[in-house]
A and B are shown apart, each in its own frame.
Chain A
């Protein structure tokens, strides 16, 4: 049997257009499925219990009116501000220390195990300390975001630096690359995929850290808003905000995934991206 060579080559573009619509159809079906399940659960709960733990879809829709007419935009802006600075500090310091340790074998031997152990501690346990030093305002949230972001970034950067194969450096040297050129044309591209996945994990951790902190002690922000609605027993409004958070996370994950694929930093599929954020 003869098969056209193009049909066997995984690199050809021919199988793409056929796959894309079916994938979006699957996603659409998934969203519809979730809505149906939600409504089924809401109906069931309405029968079984008096409490409205599961609001009906129309109640939920109405709750968005209430949420958006409150000072929700201010909360989003506040959380955005905290995240921006937190992620900036966390990613920046993670990259710098990661590079320094990755290129210095001796320092790495000492510091890396420490970072690995500290990295596994849930950062939220340090939140009281941050509150103590930085008060209940934005500073403690920024610190929380930075702390959460820092560990995945620094650990991935160290790994990335140690994964640069000496043979690549030798090959580059024989091909007349100067030390600076080796940094730019070997270290950088060789490390980029691993560093980028560290940054993605760091962003996810930073968002979690910030929202958690806002639910514990804060004067505003998206996490604060969730806990506020909860304490007022405005359950539909609470869900409405939570759903926005989910949608935002998914959107951010796909944007980061798309950027990664565009820059050839990752070729992971969308399923993996969901797991990252």
Chain B
């Protein structure tokens, strides 16, 4: 069983974000550079669960993609085990914001993909994938192709595909956004259970403030674009947690605190969009 103190025993910084900035050039590389991230610094400890919240379009996915090693060209440094990340580190797993399952593979084959790439034997990867598929509740959809699954089911395939690799660092970009509230709650609990068992470090992007509080050790609130860190809120709720936590008064206070932090940023982001 994992508790708050367990999470804080190793404070070596599994993932270090050091003054990271990123600009995109619009219009196929010809336009003015548009800043998406502005000087973000953050240290995520080993075994810690950190959520990122912030207005839409502020740069959360950009930060996650840089950490995943999918964006080679950025300023500053994201470090894993001291190395600056420019290509995917073998210890990371990722769940993408958009639909990323392979449509030519069944659920089972999708979940086996990473194991197969690392040369795990056919029998072993079948069993491991099978267990993970059961865990995310897709037991009776194992032989189906993504086209025959709902959006939420596909997202669970992507989740299982990442979890089965037992990554040391798990980057999750709104993994539960396409799910209904009940499934979200159940999978959230399951994620916490796996995460504490494997002592995984998780960076989790969400728009759901309640979800952020329920799952996280710390919640990072970001400003409108270019994203910088506005505030970091410590979630001092006891672990292990389950979904009954939502009825505790402290939970309500924390959600309210996050909302007051984000409110102005959300309005700012909306205003910017209206101006074009």
Docked-complex contact A176 and B118, CB < 8 angstroms: yes
Interface size on B, residues (CB 8 A): 28
Do most interface residues of chain B lie in helix, strand or loop, or is the interface mixed? loop
Does B222 have its Cβ within 8 Å of any Cβ on chain A? no
Specify which chain B residues have a CB less than 8 angstroms from the CB of A11 in the assembled complex.
144, 148
Does A171 have its Cβ within 8 Å of any Cβ on chain B? yes
| Residue of A with least CB distance to B141 | A11
**Which residues of A from 157 to 194 have beta carbons under 8 Å from B?**
167-168, 170-178, 181, 185-186, 189-190, 192
| Residue of A with least CB distance to B119 | A176
A176's contact among B65, B68, B96, B114, by CB below 8 Å, is which? B114
Does A71 have its Cβ within 8 Å of any Cβ on chain B? no
Specify which chain B residues have a CB less than 8 angstroms from the CB of A170 in the assembled complex.
65, 68, 70, 96, 100
Specify which chain B residues have a CB less than 8 angstroms from the CB of A176 in the assembled complex.
88, 90, 114, 117-118, 165
Docked-complex contact B114 and A264, CB < 8 angstroms: no
CA gap between A13 and B118 in the complex, in Å? 35
**Which residues of B from 193 to 209 have beta carbons under 8 Å from A?**
none
Residue of B100, B118, B148 with most partner-chain A CB within 10 A: B100
Specify which chain A residues have a CB less than 8 angstroms from the CB of B118 in the assembled complex.
176
Residue of B88, B158, B165 with most partner-chain A CB within 10 A: B88
Docked-complex contact A172 and B104, CB < 8 angstroms: no
A173's contact among B70, B104, B158, B165, by CB below 8 Å, is which? B70
Does B251 have its Cβ within 8 Å of any Cβ on chain A? no
Q: With A11-B148, A190-B104 as known contacts, state yes or no: A173 contacts B96, CB within 8 Å.
A: no
Does B259 have its Cβ within 8 Å of any Cβ on chain A? no
CA gap between A94 and B105 in the complex, in Å? 27
B113's contact among A178, A185, A190, by CB below 8 Å, is which? A185
CA gap between A185 and B68 in the complex, in Å? 21
Residue of B65, B87, B114, B165 with most partner-chain A CB within 10 A: B114
Specify which chain A residues have a CB less than 8 angstroms from the CB of B96 in the assembled complex.
167, 170-171
Docked-complex contact B117 and A174, CB < 8 angstroms: no
